[in-house]
Amino acid sequence: MAASGHATPRMPPARCLDLGWVGGYSLDAMKTTPDKRKPSILSGIQPTGRLTIGNYLGALRNWVALQDQYECYYVLVDLHAITVRQEPKVLRRRCYEFLALYMACGLDPATSTLFVQSHVPTHAQLSWILNCFTYMGEAQRMTQFKEKSSRHSENINIGLFDYPVLMAADILLYSADLVPVGEDQKQHLELTRNLAERFNGIYGNVFTVPEPFIPKVGARIMSLKDPTSKMSKTDEDDATYVALLDEPEAVRRKIKRAVTDAGREVVYDESRPGLANLLTIFAATAGEPIETIVGRYEGKGYGDLKKELAEAIVEFLRPVQQRYRDIIADEPGLARVLADGAARALARTRPLLARVHEALGFIPE
């Protein structure tokens, strides 16, 4: 880690690369954007709750895997986080913790631009403009909005409604070709593409229309207690997820108690969602196909699977947590990473925002 003096050994990226699914388009077609050296990526995580193995398998590991091939911008979306009430001190601390975890998972701030959204004012600026191109009906259809407004019925604010438009601004500002995310963000990506096409249809080719990059295995990790709903880092019940910073004993306990059905035989069957989820986590963590994992449990039961899965997760998390402890101890180093990241992000996005302003007929600054 150049900026703070830490060494951040990389996770082996290669095995992750074949796990991606790019919305039905060829990657080569994306490498032709005329004014750029490398194709680019933008993705983000909300600094809320505790980063889970779901966030890692759905998003972070692909961020790491893709960082050398693409010009990458990875953002902690603190503006998005305040759509739900946050404790200021906790939010600030969590931003550092998430950044340290990004780096502990293998993101290298010398290669990837790591920053917080509130440091880069162009995000909010473009978001306002995109608001004027978004229809009420489109925003109302967003399932995340519907789900969050029922969960936070005491605070259904306009920010919550507008959330996907700010996300579209995050992506379009960087002319991102690819957006590595879990499956739950697919609908937001679709809106982003629609907004880009709508704007381009009126003003010419201003925005790059981005593709989602969704892993084949791990795009939707389910809750350990209710395998029909998504594992969420903000779930109040911490037995529903494995956090990247969970102690080994906590991991063992949570996996042991994970809900499965009454069967015995280890097979991958979507009508047995608890077992299917554990097998998915195992396959994605070990970097092996699900069939290989299933094959190893012929004649064995759920108990063996759970025990070995817990150990696989513990072993996977051990070096991440070790690196994390070193990195988080250097808060000034982390602050330098963010300052450097914000400067790079601002430099990258100003010309695009100027093009948008010009297209709209604003007087140039």
Q: Which residues are catalytic?
A: 148, 230, 233
DSSP 42: E
**Which helix (H) or strand (E) element contains residue 328?**
helix 302-328
Indicate whether 184 belongs to the interface with ligand TYM (CB under 6 A): yes
> Binding of ligand TYM at residue 224 (CB under 6 A)?
no
Q: Is 44 an interacting residue with respect to ligand TYM (CB under 6 A)?
A: yes
**Residue from 181, 195, 283, 337 in contact with ligand TYM (CB under 6 A):** 181
- Per CB under 6 A, does 170 bind ligand TYM? yes
Radius of gyration of the chain (CA): 21
CB-based closest residue to ligand TYM:
58
Selected range binding ligand TYM among 106-114, 150-158, 163-171, 249-257, rule: CB under 6 A: 163-171
Residue 8 near ligand TYM by CB under 6 A: no
- Min dist CB 144 to ligand TYM, Å, is 7
How do strand 211-215 and strand 20-22 relate by DSSP bridges?
Answer: antiparallel
How far the first Cα of the chain sits from its last, in Å, is 37
If DSSP codes are grouped into helix, strand and coil, which group holds residue 6? coil
Is 167 a binding residue for ligand TYM by CB under 6 A? The answer is yes
Kindly tell me which residue out of 4, 39, 41, 54 binds ligand TYM, with binding defined by CB under 6 A: 54
Taking phi over 0 as left and psi of -120 to 50 as alpha, with beta for the rest, 210 belongs to beta
Under rule CB under 6 A, how many of the chain's residues touch ligand TYM?
26
- Nearest residue (CB) to ligand TYM, 4 versus 243: 243
Shortest CB 86 distance to ligand TYM, Å: 13
> Rounded to 10 degrees, what is the CA torsion of 198, 79, 178, 245?
-160
Looking at 185, 240, 260, 277, which residue binds ligand TYM (CB under 6 A)? 185
Backbone φ, ψ for residue 232 (5° rounding): -125, 135
Please report where in the chains the tokens 């299917």 appear, as a residue.
276
Looking at the Cβ atoms of 58 and 333, the one nearer to ligand TYM is 58
- From 35, 30, 112, select the one nearest 355 (Cα to Cα): 35
Can you tell me which residue has the tokens 């795009």? 219
Q: Does 77 bind ligand TYM (CB under 6 A)?
A: yes
Task: Say what angle helices 331-360 and 186-203 make with each other, to 10 degrees.
Answer: 40
Residue 179 interacts with ligand TYM (CB under 6 A): yes or no? yes
Judged by CB under 6 A, does residue 221 bind ligand TYM? yes
Q: Which of 40, 46, 83, 285 binds ligand TYM (CB under 6 A)?
A: 46
Please tell me the distance from the alpha carbon of residue 354 to that of residue 365, in angstroms, as a whole number: 9
What would the DSSP string read from start to end of 180-214?
E--GGGHHHHHHHHHHHHHHHHHHSS-S---EEEE
- Residue 261 three-state SS: coil
Q: Closer CB to ligand TYM, residue 176 or residue 310?
A: 176
Q: Are 10 and 64 contacting, i.e. CB atoms less than 8 angstroms apart? A: yes
Q: Minimal CA–CA distance to 20: which of 74, 71, 59, 73?
A: 59
Residue 120 in the binding site for ligand TYM (CB under 6 A): no
Residue 80 makes contact with ligand TYM by CB under 6 A? yes
Closer CB to ligand TYM, 1 or 42, in the complex: 42
For residues 129 and 29, the answer to whether their CB atoms sit within 8 Å is: no
Does 337 interact with ligand TYM (rule: CB under 6 A)?
Answer: no
Residue 165 near residue 139, CB atoms below 8 Å: yes
* One of 59, 107, 129, 283 touching ligand TYM (CB under 6 A): 59
Which of 8, 43, 83, 113 is the binder for ligand TYM (CB under 6 A)? 43
For residue 353, state whether it binds ligand TYM (rule: CB under 6 A): no
130 in contact with ligand TYM (CB under 6 A):
no
Which amino acid would we find at residue 218?
A: G
> Which span sits near ligand TYM by CB under 6 A: 28-36, 37-45, 129-137, 279-287?
37-45
List contacts with ligand TYM (CB under 6 A): 42-46, 54-55, 57-59, 77, 80, 167, 170-171, 179, 181-182, 184-185, 188, 219-221, 230-231
